Amino acid sequence: MFSAHSQIPGQLAFGEPAEPPALIRRALRRGPRTRMLVSRPPQPAAQQPAASPRVLLEWHDMSAGERCVAWAGLRAWVTWLHDRYELATEERLPRCWPQHPGLVEELYALRTWREEIYSSTQPSGQAARYWHAELRTVLHAAATMYAAGCRAGHRTAPSPAAADPARQKQWASASPVTGIPGTEIASGQRNRQAEGGWLSHPAMAAALDAGQARQPGPDLPDVLLSAGGWWIPVAACWLRVSDPGQGARLNARSPRNQRQHEKGS
């Protein structure tokens, strides 16, 4: 069958094409254009829970499972350390290191410190150098302090202090503040800031320059008079004398009081 449409030479048999819409005609007149890619702001990632801070637990604070894992990890790390740093040479690390509790503590701290250095988001070659210097210090202490007598085999330490009542009594009779001047102890026992009973060294210097504090005389070179009271120096600040007896003795030694006493006599 023939189509009802008559075919004209040079034309398609499907008839005249329809005229394109006005929108397309305008686009054709403008010509090809480069499409602008608009960057979209990055979508916020899903909120991740904040990582809990790592806690360096001491052995006595660990649970049984934590202690088992930590001890196995320390042994594996010391094995790596032993081989990597050639510690078998001249027994630089005593074989009996696990039997010296203090050495265990030092190696445990060394391992933790190294992990912090090499996993830090701010790498520091200087910190790594410090770590290696400390490693040599620990190895020296291992041979000269912890296991000094273990060359021919491990030698156990004397009886533990916890099981020695005489030693515990001797230690209890000592004082942790031996050798600390009494003024330093007094300065630490009082809340000086709340009571106004202390001044920093710069503040006292400013009071001297402003005439608000003065030195009483050459016989009292280490005390000052300020705000109607006596002040004595301690390591961290100047402490106001609160002991009436000490204040009276300083008053008696003051040159002004001595002159008044001489006039009265």
Q: CA 265 → CA 44, 137, 262, distances in Å? A: 89, 69, 5
pLDDT, mean of residues 19-33: 63
Cα dihedral across residues 94, 99, 105, 109: positive or negative: positive
Q: Are strands 238-240 and 229-233 parallel, antiparallel or unpaired?
A: antiparallel
Which is higher by pLDDT, 208 or 196?
208
CB atoms within 10 A of CB 203: 13
Distance CA 51, CA 64 (A): 24
pLDDT at 191 > cutoff 80: no
pLDDT at 20 > cutoff 60: yes
pLDDT, mean of residues 144-149: 81
pLDDT, mean of residues 162-185: 70
pLDDT at 218 > cutoff 60: yes
Give the pLDDT band of residue 2 (cuts 50, 70, 90). Answer: very low
Which is higher by pLDDT, 16 or 155?
155
Which is higher by pLDDT, 162 or 3?
162
Cα dihedral across residues 246, 249, 250, 251: positive or negative: positive
pLDDT, mean of residues 219-248: 80
Q: Are 234 and 200 in contact (CB under 8 A)?
A: no
Place of tokens 């001489």: 262
What does DSSP assign to residue 146? Answer: I
3-class DSSP assignment, residue 241: coil
Query: Which pLDDT score is estimated for 188?
Result: 55
Distance CA 221, CA 5 (A): 128
Query: What is the rounded radius of gyration, in angstroms, for the C-alpha atoms of the chain?
Result: 42
Place of tokens 């290191």: 97
pLDDT at 50 > cutoff 90: no
Which is higher by pLDDT, 90 or 20?
90
Q: How far apart are the first and last CA of the chain?
A: 155
Of 219, 206, 226, the closest CA to residue 250 belongs to 219
Give the pLDDT band of residue 112 (cuts 50, 70, 90). Answer: very high
Segment 64-94, tens digit of pLDDT: 888 888 999 999 999 999 999 998 888 888 8
Give the pLDDT band of residue 230 (cuts 50, 70, 90). Answer: confident
Q: What is the maximum span of the chain, computed from C-alpha positions, in angstroms? A: 155
Query: Which pLDDT score is estimated for 134?
Result: 95
Which is higher by pLDDT, 170 or 47?
170
**pTM score of the predicted model:** 0.49
pLDDT at 55 > cutoff 70: no
Two tokens, residue 82: 């032993």
pLDDT at 121 > cutoff 90: no
Two tokens, residue 53: 């801070």
Place of tokens 């094409």: 17
| Cα–chain center distance at 175 | 29
Two tokens, residue 263: 């006039």
